[in-house]
Structure 1
């Protein structure tokens, strides 16, 4: 489906004005929706991202990007944006009826912010954009639920924590098993699950965590990094991680967790293209899942693994990453640490921030990125400067996805 010709011209004419006000619109939208449906803020949306304004920016970017793609069509980019959102929605158990709720409060916010500029013609055109986007997502999500073998939205299951393993001073892994001993569903290397936890104030908050074990395993494994609050280097307030801190401090062997079916579209493609796996911090987790698969299948392609971290002590899965690279026949690894302590740089261990300028990148290489958004955007710019095609650069963002607005 595509936007009608009449609506396309209206969107083309009004996109600058709507785009300029879209963050104000989405902020008001969330305020209105949460006032009417407080359970959505309490039990579905990330409260930390709401407080920081990150979710508002991500929604604004997604709407603006989708609208712009109706004016200047780019099917591949549209597919990427829609797939990423749909997988995230499926991992949350979003259902078609919830799009009606969003529509109601989003359009109330549009009218309130833009006032008389929202003529019946303008309202109809943006309504068409919304439902084109919504129905596209509903269709993709229906397919994802069907592939998972579950009714729409019913993605949740209870698992048991079989083992808890400390990966670094602030990161712990949980090995998850089914409650009845049967194997858990298979997943693709690079996918994630959502975890829902009951917090002390009665809220149920949800976060996503990559599956780091071998996809063929009968158990699931996730890694969780505790996130203390504080002041960031730029002076902004950094909220503590509600779910990650709860899991780190309160969940142990024998405890139960509510988790979703595996989803996520940052998956390792089954071909022979050379690979460049780039991560920072806890962003190593989807790469660990991919490397487990490559090692188990004796994959013969060239694989370059690049990781950046604060220090060796903060590097979660450090020993496992080294072991996996050694098991993949044609894999090499480079690591950068901002603080090496008493250790000296040497070989493939470097001091400072990641620098891809000296890394060999073969023609046809496919790149997979995961880490803080500023890190990934800097890496992407470096890759583009070296003529790596944009469509060969794949990424994962846990939290509001602002990549599209920066791409």
Structure 2
């Protein structure tokens, strides 16, 4: 337990951490990987190179400092991170390693400002926070392993099908090698895929949203091919260009907190930017099956029709379910798009367009996509006065902060 004095000490360091947080976490990861290079098999090196993981960890540390006297307020974030940790295979034995190097990084960056009292308070605080994560993750591991069809850590799968959805997105149908039934999952969840790529020194693990409804004999993931020079492109380019039907890969059980509330009867609005369509089309399939009378609007904002995935799949859902409305927004339509009027809005999603076409006053909103798209959507919804309890969103990758206009 932390003393009141220690809590006050931790809270007093929050402004300093906000100023130097990313510098501390950058130093932390440098130390961590120098001393424990095997952990490079777990951590996403693309996120490291882009600084995303450093910023995400810094934000978590700052939030912990600011709420050290009421840690229950950050439990939603803890749950979200714990799901990611469970899907990656993070275990209790990793936490002392992280703590040791984090404290060294704090001391290295803050220097003489990191007094003995401050360092002792942070050492004790880290243990409290680590114990919370370990407890939450232990429950997730147990729940995952004991559910029907569940398993611990990773399990061998093979690629049973590979379907091109657009110029940049390909779907992979994954089946377990042991041919056992798969566990069910919540629409919106993801799996971790672990690959040993011949050209790479370390194992690569990536999370991909499940893009088709649960209770099938397979998992479907739909992967966007990133630019081959982008650090994120290592796995996606391998899957697109090298992986073939029959190839083996290791897969985690489904995880994630960005899930559809099928108990709600409010109109549903799904807003996707680019490959952000993948968890949302899963939600759409599920809601039309389980709540066929629930009004649904799905908006897909993409560059043009060549890169738009699932057009026919979405069209078929509209034909079969009268309560579903689908809108396409193209920022840079091709000549064919223009000739065929292949969109409902040209340019970008706007406040006026949303107000004119969507049930803004009563719907539940779920959105996913690139950060600029999500910030635009969030600002439009805030401008309209949509309350926080009706907002649901997810980042692909480490949790970031959405910059909103006040």
* TM, length-normalised to structure 1: 0.91
Q: CA deviation at 1:29?
A: 0.5
Residues 14, 393 of structure 1: CA spacing in aligned structure 2 closer, same or farther, 3 A cutoff? Answer: same
Q: Which runs of 5+ in 2 are unaligned?
A: none
Q: CA deviation at 1:3?
A: 5.5
Q: CA deviation at 1:322?
A: 2.7
Query: Which whole-Å CA distance do the structure 2 matches of 1:129 and 1:357 have between them?
Result: 47
Query: Which whole-Å CA distance do the structure 2 matches of 1:143 and 1:354 have between them?
Result: 40
Counterpart in the other structure of 1:114: 110
Counterpart in the other structure of 1:56: 54
The alignment of Structure 1 onto Structure 2 pairs a total of residues equal to 396
Contact 1:334–1:348 under 8 Å retained in 2: yes
Counterpart in the other structure of 2:37: 38
Counterpart in the other structure of 1:372: 370
Contact 2:42–2:205 under 8 Å retained in 1: yes
Residues 314, 348 of structure 1: CA spacing in aligned structure 2 closer, same or farther, 3 A cutoff? Answer: closer
Q: CA deviation at 1:5?
A: 2.3
Query: Which whole-Å CA distance do the structure 1 matches of 2:376 and 2:65 have between them?
Result: 26
The one-character-per-residue Cα deviations of 1:189-210 (angstroms, maximum 9, x if unpaired) are: 1110000111223321110011
Counterpart in the other structure of 1:216: 215
Residues 181, 229 of structure 1: CA spacing in aligned structure 2 closer, same or farther, 3 A cutoff? Answer: closer
1:336 aligns with 2:329: yes
Query: What is the aligned-residue RMSD (CA, Å)?
Result: 2.4
Counterpart in the other structure of 1:134: 130
Query: Which whole-Å CA distance do the structure 2 matches of 1:303 and 1:356 have between them?
Result: 19
Counterpart in the other structure of 2:175: 177
1:96 aligns with 2:92: yes
The one-character-per-residue Cα deviations of 1:129-166 (angstroms, maximum 9, x if unpaired) are: 32232222211111111111269993200111111111
Contact 2:276–2:369 under 8 Å retained in 1: yes
Contact 1:338–1:351 under 8 Å retained in 2: yes
Counterpart in the other structure of 1:258: 250
Counterpart in the other structure of 1:234: none
Counterpart in the other structure of 2:305: 312
SS of 1:357 mapped into structure 2: helix
Moved over 3 A (4+): 73-76, 150-154, 325-329, 344-348, 404-407
Query: Which whole-Å CA distance do the structure 2 matches of 1:23 and 1:406 have between them?
Result: 21
SS of 1:400 mapped into structure 2: coil
SS of 1:57 mapped into structure 2: helix
Contact 2:27–2:105 under 8 Å retained in 1: yes
Counterpart in the other structure of 2:80: 84
Query: Which whole-Å CA distance do the structure 1 matches of 2:393 and 2:370 have between them?
Result: 11
SS of 2:386 mapped into structure 1: coil
Residues 327, 147 of structure 1: CA spacing in aligned structure 2 closer, same or farther, 3 A cutoff? Answer: farther
SS of 2:67 mapped into structure 1: helix
Query: Which whole-Å CA distance do the structure 2 matches of 1:103 and 1:406 have between them?
Result: 33
Moved more, 110-119 or 343-352: 343-352
Contact 1:228–1:241 under 8 Å retained in 2: yes
Query: Which whole-Å CA distance do the structure 2 matches of 1:295 and 1:106 have between them?
Result: 47
Query: Which whole-Å CA distance do the structure 1 matches of 2:201 and 2:254 have between them?
Result: 26
Counterpart in the other structure of 1:350: 345
Moved more, 386-395 or 352-361: 352-361
Q: Which runs of 5+ in 1 are unaligned?
A: 231-237
* TM, length-normalised to structure 2: 0.91
Counterpart in the other structure of 2:288: 295
Q: CA deviation at 1:391?
A: 3.3
Query: Which whole-Å CA distance do the structure 2 matches of 1:28 and 1:290 have between them?
Result: 40
1:245 aligns with 2:245: no
Q: CA deviation at 1:347?
A: 9.1
Counterpart in the other structure of 1:8: 7
Query: Which whole-Å CA distance do the structure 2 matches of 1:129 and 1:395 have between them?
Result: 30
Query: Which whole-Å CA distance do the structure 1 matches of 2:322 and 2:67 have between them?
Result: 42
Counterpart in the other structure of 1:147: 143
